[in-house]
Chain A
């Protein structure tokens, strides 16, 4: 597992980056922040799920190579 990504840290990091970008765009008047968040927030769960899946596949491949 040494090479695997810590999924929760990765998701939290991505989430914070995304939130910061969106917030900035909202402050700049480019987007309606609340509407965008209310619509797209479930994608964080999708991204997290993909990262977990990737980690599981990576761990399996490492076990086979050993």
Chain B
């Protein structure tokens, strides 16, 4: 046989293989939200649905366990004393006759398990014998009141409502839990989650899915990765979050340990303790103390009744209306504070520090940053500002009382405060007493200008 003929034979075979592959693939090629999929498998093509029903006795308070795969599980409140099980079988076969014959072999299995009941199907047996046939098993269970439910499901959504407690492990479809009278434990992946009306403790672990949790009466521990988390109307909330956004509205207290996640919380009834990286933190309306530790992230806190402790880098910190002590450390970022009731201790570098409308003692250390201070009322508390490579400006309200010491290593000190009894004055240093003296006001720039002026002078100059 000539080599030419062998080559031609291979050419024909390659042509046939290509044509047949293209023919098989063409109806199973799907580009959509889930990405590009080729050969969708046994769960594609014509399908036919068939129903089966079973009723099983279940003693009051006895637990119910549901095991399923490739189909939804729905648990709702039913009549006392029995579980009504409805199985919807969806079979993927070309004709209804074939599908009906196969569906007749798909059965509900209800077996005693401890003091309760275990409900499943004979999927495992069928998969062993007919692995190539795709079929879905959707279970709906009407359970007696006060039933504790445990669900294990894969590739199917889970809906639970009006049960005593819930323990759910699922994957690849959404989960929805509503009105659970006791504790809830949920572990799921690749599916969105919605929980609401949970009376007991909530322990939730979700990977690759968004989570909405509302109306949680007891403490909640929420662990989410690669998904957004929204929490509203909850008690104590403890969050571990990676690669998602956190949005919180009206909770008792808040603890967050996050990475690569922006955090936004409003109306926290107790303390807020937040750590995150690479995304901003915004807290508004915190009744207790607020502690925020971030990296490469902006921090905005407003209406905090307790103390504030903030540490971040490479972005700015903004504080508005803080009732307690404020401690702020920023590396390579600025600080803008307004309405500090009990003073602050601020360490910053690289950008401007502005404190407007503050009361209480103030201590600022800054590098490569200017400092601008405007007290809310008469200045009578200790103020200490030390900056390198930045100017300092202090506006003095009427009726202030303090001992002034302003100096610079290279720059100019300008003091324009009517009533200040100057003790020593030179271009680089001014000391004096205002209103009979009192707390120490020490302003040191190394180097940079230092300006101390009364409010009226400042207002006139700004005009």
Q: Are the C-beta atoms of B20 and A38 separated by less than 8 Å?
A: yes
Counting CB contacts under 8 A, is B4 at the interface? Answer: yes
Residues of B contacting A48 in the complex (Cβ-Cβ under 8 angstroms) = 12
Complex contact A38–B23 (CB within 8 A): yes
Dominant secondary structure at the A interface: helix
Binary interface profile of A, 18-52, with partner B (CB < 8 Å = 1, else 0)? Answer: 00000000000000001101100110110010000
Asked if A37 and B19 make an inter-chain contact with CB atoms under 8 angstroms apart, the answer reads yes
Q: Determine the interface band of chain A, counting residues with CB < 8 A from chain B.
A: 10 to 19
CA distance A38 to B22 in the complex (A): 9
Nearest chain-A residue to B1 (Cβ)? A52
Which A residue sits closest to B20, measured CB to CB? Answer: A38
If A8-B5, A8-B8, A12-B8 touch, whether A42 touches B16 (CB-CB below 8 Å) is yes
Determine the distance from Cα of A12 to Cα of B9 in the docked complex, in whole angstroms: 10
B residues near A12, Cβ cutoff 8 Å? 8
Checking B2, B8, B15 against A41 with a beta-carbon cut-off of 8 angstroms, the contacting residue is B15
**Measured between alpha carbons, how far is A46 from B8 in the docked complex, in Å?**
14
Tell me if B26 counts as interface (CB < 8 A to partner A): yes
Docked-complex contact B16 and A35, CB < 8 angstroms: no
Determine if B19 and A38 form an interchain contact, defined as CB atoms under 8 angstroms apart: yes
- Majority-rule SS of B interface residues: helix
Q: If the complex has contacts A34-B22, A34-B26, are A41 and B5 also in contact, measured as CB distance less than 8 A?
A: no
CA distance A24 to B19 in the complex (A): 17
Q: Is the CB of A41 within 8 A of B4?
A: no
Within 8 A of A (CB), among B1-37: 2, 4-5, 8, 12, 15-16, 19-20, 22-23, 26
Minimum distance in angstroms from A59 CB to a CB of chain B = 15
Report the Cα distance A12→B2, complex, angstroms. 15
Query: A37: nearest residue on chain B (CB-CB)?
Result: B19
Q: How far is the CA of A41 from the CA of B2 in the complex (A)?
A: 23
Interface string of B344-358 (1 = CB under 8 A from A): 000000000000000
Residues in A whose Cβ lies below 8 Å from that of B20: 38, 41
The chain B residue with its CB closest to the CB of A15 is B12
Q: Min CB distance, B38 to chain A, in Å?
A: 16
Docked complex Cα distance between A16 and B357 (Å): 89
Query: How far does the Cβ of B29 sit from chain A's closest Cβ, in whole Å?
Result: 13
**Partner pick for B19 among A7, A15, A41, A45, CB 8 A cutoff:** A41
* Chain A positions within 8 Å of B5 at CB level: 7-8
Question: How many whole Å from A9's CB to the nearest CB in chain B?
Answer: 9
Interfacial residues of chain B within 326-359, with CB under 8 A of chain A in the complex: none
CB-based closest 9 A-B pairs: A38-B23, A41-B16, A37-B19, A38-B20, A38-B19, A34-B23, A8-B8, A8-B5, A44-B12
Q: What would 5 more interface pairs be, CB under 8 Å, given A7-B5, A38-B20, A41-B12?
A: A8-B4, A12-B8, A38-B19, A44-B16, A45-B12
